[in-house]
Amino acid sequence: MAICIPHLIQKCATCKVLKHLTMKQMGALLNSNRKYGSSLFVTKNEGKEVFTFLTPYLDIEQRLADIKKLQGDLTARGLNWNAEDIKNMWEFYKTVKTDEANLQLKSKEITDELMPLFKNKNFTTEEEVNFKKLKLQMKCVKDDLKLVKESLLELNASILEKMLQIPNEIDGRTPIGMPIVLKSVNSLNEHSDSEKMGHVEIGRRLGLLEYRNPMQYYLCNDAAFFELGVLNYAGKLFSKDNMIRVAGADFSRSLVIDGSGLNHEDPADAFIIDNHTDVEKNSVNRMHLVGGASLISFLAMHAKQVIDAKHFPVAYFSTGRQYTPFRPGSTSIGLFTVCQTSAAIAFILVKDAKSREYQTQFERLLNIVCKLYDDVCDHYQVVLRPAVELRPWEAMRVSFELWSSFSKQYIEVGHISVCGEYFSKRLLIAYQTPEGKAFPSIISGTVLSVPRLLGCLLEQNPDKFVIPPKILQHMPTDYVSL
């Protein structure tokens, strides 16, 4: 039996001709902008050289069950993908897998018929003809099985990796067009100065900031103490609400980068440590600098872990460093685009995304973060971001924004993302149920970026840096204003 595949089309002599995608359909779907080797999914031919730590759970059948919903999600995100082509590709892959199973079954049946004949030394004419016929069939089946397996290796490296690129299902609350302002605290009071200064210039003039480029800047005097104070206060609010403080690892492997939906081979997605002595340069298992207060760090803690169901919901937070590369071609906007960020991040695991508990935990986190900004800012707004702005793992994103007087726009200084089972299925974060293993849903977000917050506060009062009273109370005891 010869399998019909786009790059190897033959007539099938012993089976029906398989339905298959045209070259144009396959090429259009596979030739996306994202081209790199997957660290999350390792094919069998690569598996000889690469250790496979986990195999992600693919919920393709579930996503393709409502093809209109999938197409709507892809279109809303601004992706030029055809859901029908994705479905056809998956059906084709399943057909080839079915043929492999049928060939293996046929091989076993012929083997069972041949075994007694091998022991028989005195064939009748009819038995000899049957013996030769069975041997010929076995050779044909083995040749076809080899061809199918070779085809599957290529399909695994193309189709399955493409399936992993399908973004998260969009939450019904996410707007399709423009962002929605959920809450605006106090009114915006801008200074009437005709020439407003940027926060970098203000910071230098007040002796609070030395800024050279996105990779190199220094907070000085009151700004450095403010950084400590605001992180301490954020930590106090989270601890008061019984969230668990953790200290995450600053480094992570390519597996987790890929599992989070980022390109582990793109230095603009995550910092790559090229001179790490334990890993080859072109390995799919390199080390990355991410920071202990990052989503990647939390995911690394839970990858391939089974959590006791009685412990849910699990709510963590961390304060510390977060490292994000500066993307080439982007415009540098002072502290708004720095690569090293002092941040506070929250990470919550809930058993069921459809449960009331999931919504309760989201609202609980939202209220904590609003309390933080109530005590730090005179004016801020809470905004529901539109689908086109979501990252692949986000089903919904709520931003906390402050006004930048110099840039004349609101700047996101924190966010909360609803992610559903996206991460847990890709990284096998599970819990046990009577029916088997299930995957928890995740709510997470960098709820506070200190450099972004500081930049906005400096622009709001260019003559003097006024530290909010609540933050003053949580600064080091030996603090003296300079």
The amino acid at 79:
L
Q: Which two tokens stand for residue 165?
A: 């690129």
Q: Give pLDDT, residue 263.
A: 85
- With tokens 């090429």, the residue in question is 27
* pTM of the predicted protein model: 0.83
Q: Give pLDDT, residue 160.
A: 80
Mean pLDDT per 10-residue interval, the chain, length 482 residues: 30 34 44 49 51 78 92 94 91 88 88 76 74 84 87 80 89 93 86 72 95 94 94 95 92 90 87 70 78 94 91 94 90 94 96 88 96 94 96 96 93 96 94 90 96 95 90 78 53
Question: DSSP of 292-308, one letter per residue?
Answer: TTSHHHHHHHHTT-EE-
Helix (H, G, I), strand (E, B) or coil at 313: coil
Give the other-Cβ count within 10 Å of 56's Cβ. Answer: 17
Burial call 185-203: b when 16+ CB within 10 Å, e when fewer: eeeeeeeeeeebbbbbbbb
